[in-house]
Amino acid sequence: MKRANNLWPQIISPTNIDIALTQAARHKTHRRDVQSCIKSRDVLTRQLAIDLKRGNFTPCQPKEMIIFDGPTGKQRTILKPRFYPDQLVHQLLITAIEPSLMRGMYQYSCGSIPKRGASYGQKAVRKWLDNDPRNTKYCLKMDVSKFYPSIDNENLKRKFRTIIKDKKVLWLIDRIVDTQQGQAIGYYTSQWFANFYLQDFDHYVKEKLGAKYYVRYVDDLVILGQNKKTLHKMRERITAYLANEGLTTKPNWQVFKIAKLTPSGTHFKRGQTPNEYRGRAIDFLGLKFYRDNTTLRRKNVLRIKRRVKKINRKGELNFHDACAIVSYHGWMTRSNSKHLYITHIKPVVTIGEAKRRIRHESLRKNRE
């Protein structure tokens, strides 16, 4: 593969720096530091261009924050860099190297990639199960343990040198990579760097191991196959490959048969369950995939019901609740959850009402 060169002029261009400021400020304009940068954007744009030309960029020590991840409910520690100049530099760098990163990326590497979010992976799994039941009888499901912090910085920098030739861009990448040991959760660059780190691994699984149906969402991977023995062998080789990259897999890996969804109200006697209902669903990307059906996780159903009850008690629909309803509706359309919408959501708030509330808020912000 030809290495990318002459990327540095894109990064130090005042026009591109101004665009990067606008992109980095998206959804953050309520913050005082961001508002201050926007007011002084012409001065800051020129100054950052000068600093980068002189090689004066030094990454800051980020602030540590604790958040609760909504979908998983887990407590996570994230690192928050300064808005100026760090977040602008991160935006500039990724914009410049994104074509190089995307060129070798595996088709079903999902998460933190434009147009390849959770829904992209969900649609792929559902399509494979529907179109090729013979070769999707079994599932191998694995997670990489502590993925971001475990990334080897020196190995990551070596990988970048295989796709990028521009020495000044490589200098900037090195400065950002070496900010922390491993990649910092919370950095815009980290999600791109992490996916790139496993790019060779994705091609190894697909091309060397011969996985016909393989999808990876950041550190979670799913492989569908025709028999368990082959999947077990793949798991062993995957574990060994990742170990060479300095990564370990969680011990809760699974190889199992994918079942059909047992019809509601149906109960089988012990030992008399028909073969097609034996096994379990693939619990992946917030959904449960059966051979013939897709459902929401139980905890997501409970979260939706609690939110709707809260809206009903308040008697009004605010902007954040409207966004949540639209998001939930998207999850329900990708699963067989029409009954949930009709019985629990629609009597309180319709999807049309939620969209109108969001549109009204967007118009108000644009006028400001």
pLDDT for position 63? 87
pLDDT for position 309? 94
pLDDT for position 267? 57
The arithmetic mean of pLDDT across residues 157-179, rounded, is 96
Q: Are 76 and 53 in contact (CB under 8 A)?
A: no
Q: Is residue 345's pLDDT more than 70? A: yes
Q: Give dist(CA 101, CA 175) in Å, integer.
A: 18
Structure tokens at 50: 């000068």
Mean pLDDT of the chain: 91
Q: Is 338 exposed, middle or buried (0-12, 13-18, 19+ CB in 10 A)?
A: exposed
Structure tokens at 342: 């009709």
Digit-coded pLDDT (tens) for 220-238: 999 999 999 999 999 999 9
Q: Give dist(CA 178, CA 181) in Å, integer.
A: 7
* pTM beyond cutoff 0.85: yes
User: Which percentage of the chain shows pLDDT scores above 70?
Assistant: 93
The arithmetic mean of pLDDT across residues 17-27, rounded, is 92
Residues 6 or more apart whose Cβ sits within 8 Å of residue 82: 33, 60, 62
DSSP 271-314: T---GGG-SB-EEETTEEE-SS-EEE-HHHHHHHHHHHHHHHHH
Digit-coded pLDDT (tens) for 315-325: 889 999 999 99
Q: What is the DSSP letter of 259?
A: P
pLDDT for position 2? 86
C-alpha distances in angstroms, 145 versus 67, 230, 275, 282, 340? 19, 23, 34, 19, 35
Query: How many of the other CB atoms lie within 10 Å of CB of 160?
Result: 20
Digit-coded pLDDT (tens) for 253-308: 999 999 987 666 565 556 656 666 678 999 999 899 999 899 999 999 999 999 99
pLDDT for position 224? 98
Q: Is 210 left (phi over 0), alpha (psi -120 to 50) or beta?
A: left
Q: Is residue 71's pLDDT more than 60? A: no
Burial track 22-45 (b if 16+ CB lie within 10 A, e otherwise): eebbeeeeeeeebeebeeebeebb
Strand (E) or helix (H) holding 355:
helix 351-367
- Cross-strand partners of 282: 289
Place of tokens 């897709």: 294
Digit-coded pLDDT (tens) for 74-121: 777 888 999 999 999 999 999 999 999 999 999 999 988 989 999 999
Digit-coded pLDDT (tens) for 179-198: 888 898 999 999 999 999 99
